[in-house]
Amino acid sequence: MSKMTRRTFLQSAAVATLLYGVSPTRSLADGGENDGIGATTGSPSILKGNTFHLTIDRTVVNITGKPAIATTVNGTMPGPTLVWREGEEVTIHVTNRLPVSTSIHWHGIILPPEMDGVPDISFDGIAPGETFTYCFKVKQHGTYWYHSHSGFQEQTGLHGALVILPRNPGDEPFEYDRDYVIALSDWSDEKPESIYRKLKIQSDYYNFNQRTVGDFFHEVAEKGFVEAFKARKMWNEMRMSDRDLSDVTAYTYTFLMNGRTDAQDWHALFRPGEKVRLRFINQSAMTIFDVRIPGLKMRVVAADGNPVQPVDVEEFRIAVAESYDVIVEPEEGSYCLFAQSIDRSGFVGGTLSSRNGVRAKRPPMEKPQSLTMADMGMGGWRSTGGMSHETMKMDHGKMKMDMPHKTPWPVTPLPMRKGVAWTMTAMDPRYRLDDPGVGLRHNGRRVLTYADLRNYRSTADDPKPDREIVLHLTGNMERYIWAINGIKYADAQPLRFHYGERLRITFINDTMMPHPMHLHGMWSDLETGDDTRLVRKHTVLVQPGAKISYRVTVDARGSWAYHCHMLYHMLGMFRKVEVV
Amino acid sequence: MKKLLISTMLAASLFAEMNDDPLRATLLADRLEWQATDGDPVAWDVAAYAGYDIDKIYFYSEGAVQSDETESENELLYSRAVTPFWDLQGGLEMDTAGSERKVWGVLAIQGLAPYFIDTRIRLKISDEAVGVNFDFEYEALLTQRLILTPRIEMEAYSDDVPALGIGSGFSLLAMGLRLRYEFVREFAPYVGVEYLNGFGDTKKVYGMKEDTRFVAGVRFWF
């Protein structure tokens, strides 16, 4: 076994004790340092310090009642939560006991390219039997995560949370008494290679929410044959389904919260009156979750690790790889931490309770909504087709960004290829920042949107863009091919960023699926309507048929990965970025 | 060039598992059925391919066996994706009727037409005749697992092909309606009805009869 430093060993021992007796009368996690990182029943272990020993191996797990093999870190899935401190140098020895190459990528962490952990781009990967040592200075604080960037290992369990404490306690602009990581993930007993093969052979293999003949007659009864037919016409002509919400569903997935199923009920405790910080991280391979805690208001205080102006919501959508920190102030009782998949094929719940051993009641799962014309890139989201009065108002009022920008910066043309990997073109892609997205529209709850996010600090002094590039997210759902600008990764030239420049990147999503786009090594400063409060993110969800823009200060030399974080999209929807 | 070679090799070794387009092979038995008519024929319609997103090798076989008589059409083709929804295919077809054999050159387009109509149109060329075959299929979901499939196939030839019992002109119309239940995506038993008719010389000279028959079978793939 790998050697542990005394400090991490003591930490693990403390956590192991907690596994067997969690008491709300005791600070759940102070391992000598009063930082309040909580451990609970069934949570991944917590490792703190400067030096870490991680061993990647195959471990038999039983999630569904059948034994299956997971890829684990130190024997657990998710891997241990690593706790770092801003300003310190961390050393992580990663030993590979798999028969194949592996890697760990520190998601959202600003570090030298050779420490970024992407095989083929920033290092050679970690060969079987070898140990690779990551060593870098931690320049940020907040909630992050790590995962494998090799093959489909992320799907089989190789992921874990990163909690980075601020340099000085109190550096964060919010207070809390208790702190929990809520890692959401999707598990399948099927091998990822098999899932991918099935998607290639029949892309709707996992979709059991398709439009039926009955749905059509229902519409006929509602608005008459002609109108019903017209409503279907566009979809039928484009050979696309308005029920195409998720490629891989609960048909094969079991959704997990901190590695536990809904039945296993991940459980966290609080004392009434406490402020509880919940660090939600979506560590899934393919699942976008909608999260709420019925009966509790959530104050969103950070997005992707970075503080935002607090915003109170009842629900938020968390795309693959995103993180949101929320603070809740529960009163005595039990609350359900409820995360349902975007396509409503499944959910996972956990319990936040003032008493041990109580399982919070789960709310019923909602019905899936259908995609609208807006998701096809044909206008605003508030109406189902064309331009309604309301849409017009929105466009000229709140969404100033839909007004012609008179781009004061030059747009650099990029190679594009119309063809097999480009089925649909969004005809009228809009900035839909205040659109909560399919499944969350008009649900009566206060749902977080990107338009609500404003950076905690001022960005008024941030430099203006020097130039812009436009990236079309393209795909062919019928053949299950994903690409950027119609060119899949295998055929693409790297993107060239210039060191020192301020780049504006605009995505246009020419597909019917949302894509969480993740740029390594540099921040993505999202335009949400207020240039003085650009939102600092590492992963940006681009809604179907929409466009979205962010700015990047190109301050990191080297080669970086840039990709959609949906695992089975990533293979084609990927670019190497070279900062020259 | 050297650099390109090295980077290609690196990509192969390190990113091997992240190949976006792995070689795959699959076989779909769209129809494998018993038909309730004279001679209790068993009919099949099978398509298999091996290949990649863009390039594939296809094998198609369609036919029926009854008593000691077998009729079949068997194609081996190279298939290339040329547009988002369409493949262009070319290769050879061997048709059999009893002990008779006939080889054709085949050119086909296959894909998904608007309104989700599975379409295959092929042009068959031999020393005796030129033929065209149209095949359209639609899947109507009654529920997520109960699926009604109307299908229509038409065939026409420039000249008689006596060995196969085909007359020139519009020769064949087949219409089917099948209702399947997908226990899993890969396995679905079905029942249905099939209408067949021959025209022109196919009917008059070679004796093809109009017939409507019940069918029961299984659709599966792996």
A304 to chain B, closest Cα gap in Å? 26
Cβ under 8 Å to A: B residues 122-141: 140-141
DSSP lists the bridge partners of residue B108 as B89, B122
A122 to chain B, closest Cα gap in Å? 12
Q: Is A124 on the interface with B (CB under 8 A)?
A: yes
Q: Give the model's pLDDT for residue A373.
A: 86
Q: Is A99 on the interface with B (CB under 8 A)?
A: no
Q: Give the model's pLDDT for residue A408.
A: 82
B74 to chain A, closest Cα gap in Å? 22
- Cα separation, A343 vs A248, whole angstroms: 10
Q: Give the model's pLDDT for residue A182.
A: 97
DSSP-derived pairing of the beta strands A89-96 and A51-62: parallel
Residues whose CB is less than 8 angstroms from the CB of residue B6 and which lie 6 or more positions away in sequence, other chains included: none
Residue of chain B nearest A206, judged by CA positions:
B185
Residues A84 and A163 sit within 8 Å (Cβ to Cβ):
yes
Residue of chain A nearest B22, judged by CA positions:
A197
Q: Is B17 on the interface with A (CB under 8 A)?
A: yes
Contact B83 A420 (CB under 8 A): yes
Residues A148 and A58 sit within 8 Å (Cβ to Cβ):
no
Torsion of CA A399, A404, A407, A411, to 10 degrees: 100
Q: Is B5 on the interface with A (CB under 8 A)?
A: no
B108 to chain A, closest Cα gap in Å? 18
List the one residue out of A241, A280, A237 whose CA is nearest residue A513: A241
DSSP-derived pairing of the beta strands B42-51 and B55-66: antiparallel
Q: What is the largest CA-CA distance in chain A?
A: 74
B108/A382: higher pLDDT: B108
Cβ under 8 Å to B: A residues 415-434: 419-423
| pLDDT above 50 (res B59) | yes
List the one residue out of A19, A533, A31 whose CA is nearest residue A309: A533
- Give the mutation candidate from B20, B53, B142 for the A interface (greatest A CB count, under 10 A): B20
Contact B84 A476 (CB under 8 A): yes
A347 to chain B, closest Cα gap in Å? 20
Residues B120 and B137 sit within 8 Å (Cβ to Cβ):
no
Q: Give the model's pLDDT for residue A383.
A: 53
Q: Is B92 on the interface with A (CB under 8 A)?
A: no
Q: What's the pTM?
A: 0.91
Q: Give the model's pLDDT for residue B68.
A: 79
Rg for chain B (alpha carbons), in Å?
Answer: 20
Q: Is A202 on the interface with B (CB under 8 A)?
A: yes
Q: What is the largest CA-CA distance in chain B?
A: 69
Q: What is the ipTM for the molecules in this complex?
A: 0.92
Contact A211 B112 (CB under 8 A): no
Q: Which residues of A touch B86 (CB under 8 A)?
A: none
CA atoms within 13 A on the CB side of A546: 27
Residue of chain A nearest B12, judged by CA positions:
A120
Residue of chain A nearest B221, judged by CA positions:
A201
Q: Which residues of B touch A420 (CB under 8 A)?
A: 53-54, 81-84
Neighbours of A402 (CB within 10 A): 17
Average pLDDT over residues B153-163: 95
Q: Give the model's pLDDT for residue A35.
A: 42
Q: Is A119 on the interface with B (CB under 8 A)?
A: yes
Q: Which residues of A touch B54 (CB under 8 A)?
A: 420
| Cα separation of the two ends of chain A | 42
If pLDDT is split at 50, 70 and 90, which confidence band does B9 have?
Answer: very low
- Cα separation, A70 vs B105, whole angstroms: 50
Mean of per-residue pLDDT scores for chain B:
92
Contact A120 B15 (CB under 8 A): yes
Q: Give the model's pLDDT for residue A406.
A: 61
Between A and B, how many residue pairs show a Cβ–Cβ distance under 8 A?
90
Would you write out chain A's pLDDT as a tens digit for each of its 580 residues? 333 333 333 333 333 333 332 333 223 333 333 344 554 545 789 999 999 999 999 999 999 999 999 999 999 999 999 999 999 999 999 999 999 999 999 999 999 999 999 999 989 999 999 999 999 999 999 999 999 999 999 999 999 999 999 999 889 999 999 999 999 999 999 999 999 999 999 999 999 999 999 999 999 999 999 999 988 888 898 898 999 999 999 999 999 999 999 999 999 999 999 999 999 999 999 999 999 999 999 999 999 999 999 999 999 999 999 999 999 999 999 999 999 999 999 999 999 999 998 999 999 999 999 999 888 888 777 754 433 334 334 443 344 444 445 668 999 999 999 999 998 888 899 999 999 999 999 999 999 999 999 999 999 999 999 999 999 999 999 999 999 999 999 999 999 999 999 999 999 999 999 999 999 999 999 999 899 999 999 999 999 999 999 999 999 999 999 999 999 999 999 999 999 9
Average pLDDT over residues B111-129: 96
DSSP lists the bridge partners of residue A254 as A187
Provide the residue type at A279 as one letter. R
Closest residue to A239, CB basis, from B17, B116, B185: B116
